[in-house]
Amino acid sequence: MLATKTDTIVPPAPGVRSRRKKNDNLTGYLFILPFVIGFIGLTLFPTAASLYLSFTDYNMLGSPHWVGIENFRQMFTQDDKYWQSVRVTVQYVFTAVPVRLVCALLIAMLLDRITAGAGFFRTVLYVPSLIGGSVAVSVMWKQLFSDKGAINALLTAVGLHPLPWLGDPHLALWTLVLLAGWQFGSPMLIFLAGLKNIPRELYEAAGVDGANAWQKFVRITLPMLTPVILFNVVMQVIQAFLAFTPSYIISNGHGDPLDGTLLYVLYLFRNAFEFFKMGYASAMAWVLLAVIALCTALIFRSSSYWVHYESESE
């Protein structure tokens, strides 16, 4: 307080300035302190602990017992349920991500055309993404696809056979994929922003050259959107690997039927909290981390072949 007062009257001596700088830094650190505490206490420390636990046998009640790489060995060589969860998850990632992105892009292109009420539609279409991950929506989804639910009623109404959506091991995962597709909001907004950034002249020029709508889409829209697509793909792939709530609710918490919806994180959760194998679950978490990192790296590596940056061509 005193320092500031002298500041205004006389030009500060060099020492004063540096002290003031130090004060500024201190203030800054104080401001980020809550985050730093949270990061260390809730992220860094638990992460380090889970790394340690992944090499132990730990049932949460006793104390952890060092077993070296035994958890990983068991996971890769003995646990066929683990591989089933990997299969289900890969299938889910490879279907849910494209379904969601295609939905998002289509809706974004429609919204791009609309001028009246665009804000309203944007908001309404974003709502599923806000609530889609919640327990309530998963419960609703389960009702919709149940034996006598709305979807089967619709199928019957148009003369088709009702399907055992949640009872058939192959169909059950598709209800999760559809749920994921329905939550297209955030990639949609990003696509929309990307679409708005495409210069209109490109379309006009193409129009003059006689290009039809499809040609414009393939030759202009898609290439110009590739940076945005890259971003969305990376984000959605990560999210898909981490999907948990819907499969937990829809499959009664078990990955039913016949482990058809046993997503990786669900199996991880079951190991931790149902079989009380916290060490094994931690090991699974670290493998998942490595796989996600690898996938992200591969997508980035591949991007030089298909992502088009405007600045390069100039």
Partner 1 sequence: MMKRAAQWLVPAAVALVAVTGCGGSSGGTGQNTANNGVGGPASNGQTITLRISWWGDQTRANLTQQVIDLYEKSHPNIKIQPEFTGYSGYQQKLTTEAAGNNLPDVMQMNYGPMISQFSSQGLLDDLKPYIDSKQIDVSKIDPQLLGTGVINGQQLGIPLAENALAVLYNPDLLQKAGLSDPKPDWTWDDFIQMAETVHQKLGIWGARTLDYTFTPEYYIRQHGQHLFSQDQKALGYDDQTLADYWQINLKLIRDGAAPTIDKIQQIQGLEQEPLAQQKAAFDLRWSNQLTALSNNGKLPLKLAPLPGPDADKGMYLKPSMFFSISKTSQHKAEAADFINFFINNLDAAKILKTERGVPVSSDIREQLKSSLSPLDQETFDYIDYVSKHSSPIDPDSPPNYSQISQTLKDVDQKVLFGKETPEQGAKEFRSKAESLLK
Contacting residues toward partner 1, per CB under 8 A: 42-43, 45-51, 53, 58-64, 81, 142, 146-147, 164, 166-169, 234-235, 238-239, 242, 252-254, 256-259, 265, 268, 272-276, 278, 281-282, 285-286, 288-289, 292-293, 296
For residues 164 and 223, which CB has a smaller minimum distance to partner 1 in the complex?
A: 164
Min dist. Cβ of residue 283 to partner 1 (A)? 10
Residue type, 92: Y
Min dist. Cβ of residue 62 to partner 1 (A)? 6
| Residues 207 and 284 sit within 8 Å (Cβ to Cβ) | no
For residues 177 and 268, which CB has a smaller minimum distance to partner 1 in the complex?
A: 268
Min dist. Cβ of residue 256 to partner 1 (A)? 6
Min dist. Cβ of residue 1 to partner 1 (A)? 37
For residues 181 and 255, which CB has a smaller minimum distance to partner 1 in the complex?
A: 255
169: cis peptide before it, omega within 30°? no
| Residue positions counted in the chain | 314
For residues 203 and 244, which CB has a smaller minimum distance to partner 1 in the complex?
A: 244
Min dist. Cβ of residue 210 to partner 1 (A)? 42
For residues 103 and 281, which CB has a smaller minimum distance to partner 1 in the complex?
A: 281
| Backbone CA torsion sign across 10, 15, 16, 17 | positive
For residues 29 and 300, which CB has a smaller minimum distance to partner 1 in the complex?
A: 300
Min dist. Cβ of residue 313 to partner 1 (A)? 27
Q: How far is CA 132 from CA 93, 171, 176, 216, in A?
A: 17, 20, 11, 33
Helices (H), the chain: 2-9, 14-38, 45-53, 70-77, 80-113, 118-131, 135-144, 150-157, 169-182, 185-196, 200-208, 213-216, 222-241, 245-250, 264-273, 278-306, 310-313
| Residues 64 and 58 sit within 8 Å (Cβ to Cβ) | yes
Phi, psi of 66 (to 5 degrees): -65, 125
